[in-house]
Structure 1
């Protein structure tokens, strides 16, 4: 238990988002599921608002809370790898980078996101879309069971047989149904792997070409395409700083000779400004990070069925006209193994989307934040087609029921709300992209 007067308090209350500065009444740091149950009892009896945090990456600031309880699960670090059975039990405080490095020692991997410091707890209950998503599916597609503490303080072992409804909700429900203390994952053999970053000038032809190649490539390739202002990084020539670039981050789960069939056409689109793509261990996709880096940014997220020439022109126009020191349109081609899971198999329901798009802009002051939020919202409205769709892990607004509905369409939302009434009727777990009890 850490109080405001304790020396560790300021460090422990800090989250990744630089504009989140919450001061909880107490930080509780459990070491097992029984501790979590005790903490939930305190929250129920005191009536204090409760925030659950692991990696602290919530863009909406849900990892922290003013004058309430932060349940900090970062000490839940157990990791048991069954290399023969190709499964692993991991505590929710383990990070994606820690798990990936340990599994990689056995030539195995589970697909997570794109950042090593993200905690498995928040990432997994949201879905998990990263560098292996087209090859092995989302993180939740490789989830076999969980240990979860529900709002009443009971500790459950949940899988598709023991409680299929709760297991369905946990896989994409975004933390509305309990505190998961352990995850049981499927592991995949991952031998040869090619990964890294390719940076090229951002022209309509390059953007369209990268997306066409990445979306039609074999499922061994998963890519994250960032159209953005070039940062003043040492690996980017100074004359390119601030200019629009296409930074393609990719992972190819196969031999280098096969990857080259894709890399050749990619590189031929334009002379690379930087090219770090090479055969590597998959764990190298999660390099060490600067723990002091706390960006101030606003963002929007959506799923779209196409990014046509008109959309590419809109992306380049919006990024050119924006004055944010850093602004980006990130496009993730989907499909593959992720799309073969039925839409109603998990609480994540957007299996048929061709692309996930994230828009973001850094800001410099409170007034600038308002302006940049208006910019990303308008940008989203210009690209979004059809019924709004969103990924709960990247919804940035702290309290926006419309975006929650976009994450959970129609019957999915209704089923989640009914399960919320069963498992958390008082809405104890409400500091999230919330689904109130039906």
Structure 2
């Protein structure tokens, strides 16, 4: 976990930055009234202080800011529209690029493609595409920035049917470390295009993404809530793994929040929340969802059955907890969760006193596994499940105290040493090597050397240049 950093780099003059960019580009400096709000990032509790925050509205303005930072020897950090649990979008002492002004959407309905700005959220884009009965697969939360989730891979509610977000990425407009604006796709700068699909923000600032769109007018999905037992945890994971590719299930095992749709007597008790999405033929939905409902019945009955026909974009709700909170967590890959591991998981969730603690289990396979492991910079195609164990606390010191608990539980559930970069709460080399093992690491370092030899873009799960 990282919530502060030591700015060991030259200071930036806001005046000289404004002169370089021109009066039309907003620059927010520490002495300005709006600085505190501009540097705030969800979730709260992150106290980073960038030297200046730039709010560009197009690629040339981004390029000018990158050239200024490069010439000044100052790190560039990038906020792509959503949240950053450990504050990578506003690193201490950096020139922070807030891309939320790059939020345009251009949809080619007949061609089934879209160009979208690097600062738009997954929810905003999905609602725009949904008006045409179309969708690009993202995660399970509308508040994430398209840039962050795409560059790390993108695992969500359509993954088993349509693949990861990177599998629908057709091209990108990128500002590189030398301040040039380039277009990349399978035929132009192909090594950069390969690296952008899973390699994170190591290679430049993506100002626009070109996505494939798929016909997804409505899905059948929502939350199926049931009592947590070793049998129900293992049973939901097994049912999701055995389901047809049209069904994707994200399982949360956690104390039930005090939400009005959850029976009062279950508030604070550990439950299984199966967030499911069926995107296959509507008349096959009941059969596909029946095994999940059977698990709930065997556990004593569903506490909430919210599975219903709905637009895909409506399932992308929620986000990180609000307020001044700090998270610590660990991601892992596994082939599944048996009843013995599930029993240990429940014991640990009951024994922990963190204000919020959870294990999230995203069942993979399907279209995710159909892509060769070396086709993109996401190499974990054969994994059956990606998980994440997290604890949330009101401040950094308290959160740090839960790190041993998080590490131990993730260690018990994991199989192998790999990790998913979008769930990493640590930007160090160990996290990067876990996300990018073997030949993927070597190739990423080579691409980094060619496009960012000085490691200007290091506010991420960093891959150093070869």
Q: Under TM normalisation by the shorter chain, which class is it?
A: over 0.9
Partner of 1:374: 404
Partner of 1:223: 249
Deviation at 1:182, TM superposition (A): 0.5
Deviation at 1:339, TM superposition (A): 0.4
**CA–CA distance in structure 1, aligned partners of residues 177 and 86 of structure 2:** 22
Deviation at 1:289, TM superposition (A): 6.2
**CA–CA distance in structure 2, aligned partners of residues 396 and 362 of structure 1:** 12
Contact 2:424–2:431 (CA<8 Å) still a contact in 1? yes
**CA–CA distance in structure 2, aligned partners of residues 350 and 111 of structure 1:** 18
Equivalent of 1:123, from 138, 149, 155?
Answer: 149
Contact 1:108–1:188 (CA<8 Å) still a contact in 2? yes
* Structure 1 portions without partners, runs of 5+: none
Contact 1:222–1:250 (CA<8 Å) still a contact in 2? yes
Partner of 2:429: 401
**CA–CA distance in structure 1, aligned partners of residues 56 and 113 of structure 2:** 25
- Structure-2 change in CA distance of 1:293 and 1:107 (3 Å): farther
**CA–CA distance in structure 2, aligned partners of residues 396 and 287 of structure 1:** 22
- Post-superposition Cα deviations, 1:309-348, rounded to whole Å, max 9, x if no partner, equal 2221221121122111211111011010110100000000
The question of 1:30 aligning with 2:56 is answered: yes
**CA–CA distance in structure 2, aligned partners of residues 384 and 14 of structure 1:** 33
Partner of 1:436: 464
Equivalent of 2:332, from 302, 309, 312?
Answer: 302
Partner of 1:358: 388
Contact 1:91–1:182 (CA<8 Å) still a contact in 2? yes
Equivalent of 1:327, from 357, 367, 370?
Answer: 357
Q: Report the secondary structure of 1:74's partner residue.
A: helix
**CA–CA distance in structure 1, aligned partners of residues 34 and 284 of structure 2:** 50
The question of 1:425 aligning with 2:466 is answered: no
Contact 2:141–2:318 (CA<8 Å) still a contact in 1? no
**CA–CA distance in structure 2, aligned partners of residues 95 and 402 of structure 1:** 29
Equivalent of 1:82, from 108, 114, 120?
Answer: 108
- Post-superposition Cα deviations, 1:368-391, rounded to whole Å, max 9, x if no partner, equal 2222111101111212223x1111
Partner of 1:3: 29
- Structure-2 change in CA distance of 1:426 and 1:290 (3 Å): closer
Partner of 2:22: none
- Structure-2 change in CA distance of 1:288 and 1:353 (3 Å): closer
Deviation at 1:14, TM superposition (A): 0.7
Contact 1:16–1:295 (CA<8 Å) still a contact in 2? no
Aligned residues: 436
The question of 1:338 aligning with 2:365 is answered: no
- Structure-2 change in CA distance of 1:220 and 1:83 (3 Å): same
Contact 1:96–1:118 (CA<8 Å) still a contact in 2? yes
- Structure-2 change in CA distance of 1:289 and 1:205 (3 Å): closer
Contact 2:455–2:465 (CA<8 Å) still a contact in 1? yes
- Post-superposition Cα deviations, 1:153-175, rounded to whole Å, max 9, x if no partner, equal 11111011111111100111100
Larger mean Cα displacement after TM superposition, 54-63 or 290-299: 290-299
**CA–CA distance in structure 2, aligned partners of residues 17 and 365 of structure 1:** 11
Contact 2:63–2:175 (CA<8 Å) still a contact in 1? yes
Q: Report the secondary structure of 1:31's partner residue.
A: coil
Q: Report the secondary structure of 1:205's partner residue.
A: helix
- Structure-2 change in CA distance of 1:364 and 1:59 (3 Å): closer
Partner of 1:391: 420
Deviation at 1:293, TM superposition (A): 4.5
Q: Report the secondary structure of 1:63's partner residue.
A: helix
Deviation at 1:366, TM superposition (A): 4.2
Partner of 2:5: none
Q: Report the secondary structure of 2:107's partner residue.
A: strand
RMSD across aligned C-alpha pairs, in angstroms? 1.6
Deviation at 1:9, TM superposition (A): 1.9
Tell me the TM-score normalized by structure 2.
0.91
Larger mean Cα displacement after TM superposition, 26-35 or 43-52: 43-52
Q: Report the secondary structure of 2:289's partner residue.
A: helix
